[in-house]
Structure 1
Amino acid sequence: MKNIIIAIFILCMAPVSLLAAELGIALDKAPVDITDNASLQRGAETFVNYCLTCHGASFMRYNRHRDIGLSNEQILDKLIYTGQKVGDLMQSAMRKKEGEEWFGVVPPDLSVIARSRGADWLYTYLRTFYRDDATATGWNNLIFDRVAMPHVLYQLQGEQELVVKTSDKGEQKSLSLQKPGNLTVAEYDKFVGDLVNYLVYLGEPHANTRKELGFMVMIFLLGMLVLSYALKKEYWKDIH
């Protein structure tokens, strides 16, 4: 049974591991903390300003952001710009046909993208765009070759270029910042970290509640265990 569990775990992790091995690039660790409401609020604002135009989050309603400390008035002020209501789903403003015509593929819904790709992959992906005149958009990505998505955050990060070094171990790819953006490297990493943190939250908005409930259930079960043991001793004390 133990071997079967290990095999399943390896198979589940294989796509990410093989991707990193194939590209020779290690994924950076994403600073995920879905209990940090301030980070989630910043990530939510980034999402609606930079992502929601093309990508929807159709499993999420705006009013769910009350769980991360926003009031209905703040949700209307900070997250809704298209006349939608607080109880509406977070639908993309772009039509699927338009997205396919412009990018060659329909931009995916991002409701569960963090559960699909993984937080580390998203964190690395959003920080490894570089200029490439051979692509339709003029952009490419270190871990997603010939990606259809342009670098919508380039004004913040700046423009990077690909550096390829050849050695006995083969080609080693890295990026060099050629034109600084409006944010420093550290500031941009934090900016992307907040966005990825929000995307993780988006995949399971009730995760914190689930964990709190699980903790309380475990405390209850441990208490019942103690009481059950005491009751057992009371019933059997004359026999033992």
Structure 2
Amino acid sequence: MKKLLTCAFVIAFAVPGGAALAAGPSVPVDDANINLEDTTSLQRGAEYFFQYCIGCHSLEHARYNRIGQDLGLTEEQVAEKFVHTRDAAGDPTGVGQLIEIAMRPDDAEEWFAQPAPDLTLTARHRGPDWIYTVLRNFYLDDSRPLGVNNATFEAMGMPHALWELQGWQKNVGEDGHIELELVEEGKMSTEEYDEVVRDITAFMTYVAEPIRMEREAMGMYVIGFLILFTILAYLLKKEYWRDVH
């Protein structure tokens, strides 16, 4: 019976962790080193995302006004910076709406072979480090339909949307080894571009779980309460059993 309970305990707690590891990225990634408490970084990341990414990728599980509230922006600022679509009547999309794109799925399938995925939960599925690494690892590849490949996500059917900022990289590795070298400079230095990607990664990490910082802060209070309760329970136990011992 004891062995059965032990096996049940191991299965209950070990299998989900193993499944999570199996579902995660299996390629080497760089440390994104993001700071979700840096509101300025999140604001910059949001502006870059809505400038370069929203043409193809939606955030269907997020709302404009919620992002504005969390990032310290007014509804007027949100409408000016982030809203680029219109409703059926031709009016600008309301800030209370979910973040969708204007590109029709049929057009996306014709141009890119399939519709671009929604990115709301990408940071939870892949992790911030994966996003950060992917956005820095595009390189020229004439064998690909769009002329680019990615060292982290091979055969990705996506153009390099940030090429103007980063420039173009080329694979100079040999024997199947990928080694990227900048062959055409962009508008930014490598350090400046890495900071842009870090801001975008921070924003996408926030979007994937807007309540994360609040949850983590609440967790500290809960742990503190449990510690205090444990101490009180121990003292109470000693008081009750004092005469017995």
- TM-score range (shorter-chain normalised) is 0.7 to 0.9
How does 1:16-55 map onto structure 2 within 5 Å? 16=24, 19-20=26-27, 26-55=28-57
Alpha-carbon offset, residue 52 of structure 1: 1.1
How does 1:140-155 map onto structure 2 within 5 Å? 140-155=149-164
Match of 1:187 in 2: 192
Inter-partner Cα distance in structure 1 for 2:74 and 2:105: 31
Q: Deviations over 1:64-111 (max 9, x none)?
A: 121232232322232223322221111112111111111001100001
Match of 1:57 in 2: 59
Inter-partner Cα distance in structure 2 for 1:104 and 1:37: 37
Match of 1:13 in 2: 21
How does 1:12-161 map onto structure 2 within 5 Å? 12-16=20-24, 19-20=26-27, 26-65=28-67, 66-82=69-85, 83-161=92-170
Preserved CA contact (<8 Å) 1:165 1:173: yes
Alpha-carbon offset, residue 238 of structure 1: 4.4
Alpha-carbon offset, residue 215 of structure 1: 1.4
Alpha-carbon offset, residue 56 of structure 1: 0.6
Match of 2:229 in 1: 224
SS in 1 for 2:173: strand
Q: Give the length in aligned residue pairs.
A: 230
Alpha-carbon offset, residue 145 of structure 1: 2.1
Alpha-carbon offset, residue 122 of structure 1: 1.3
Structure 1: which 5+ runs fail to align? Answer: 21-25
Alpha-carbon offset, residue 141 of structure 1: 1.1
Alpha-carbon offset, residue 9 of structure 1: 3.2
TM-score (norm 1): 0.87
Alpha-carbon offset, residue 226 of structure 1: 3.0
The structure whose residues are more often strand, as a share, is 1
Inter-partner Cα distance in structure 1 for 2:10 and 2:184: 51
Q: Which moved more, 1:78-87 or 1:36-45?
A: 78-87
Alpha-carbon offset, residue 151 of structure 1: 0.5
Preserved CA contact (<8 Å) 2:24 2:125: no
- AA partner of residue 55 (structure 1): H
Preserved CA contact (<8 Å) 1:43 1:198: yes
Inter-partner Cα distance in structure 2 for 1:77 and 1:163: 42
Would you identify which runs of 4 or more consecutive aligned residues in structure 1 move more than 6 Å?
none
Aligned CA-pair RMSD: 2.1
Q: Deviations over 1:174-205 (max 9, x none)?
A: 11111100010001011001101111111111
TM-score (norm 2): 0.85
Match of 1:23 in 2: none
Inter-partner Cα distance in structure 2 for 1:175 and 1:120: 18
Structure 2: which 5+ runs fail to align? Answer: 1-6, 86-91
Q: Deviations over 1:204-224 (max 9, x none)?
A: 111111111221122222233
Percent identity between the two aligned chains: 41
SS in 1 for 2:172: strand
Residue 106 and residue 81 in structure 1: after superposition, are their counterparts in 2 closer, same or farther (change >3 A)?
Answer: closer
Preserved CA contact (<8 Å) 2:42 2:202: yes
Preserved CA contact (<8 Å) 1:130 1:175: yes
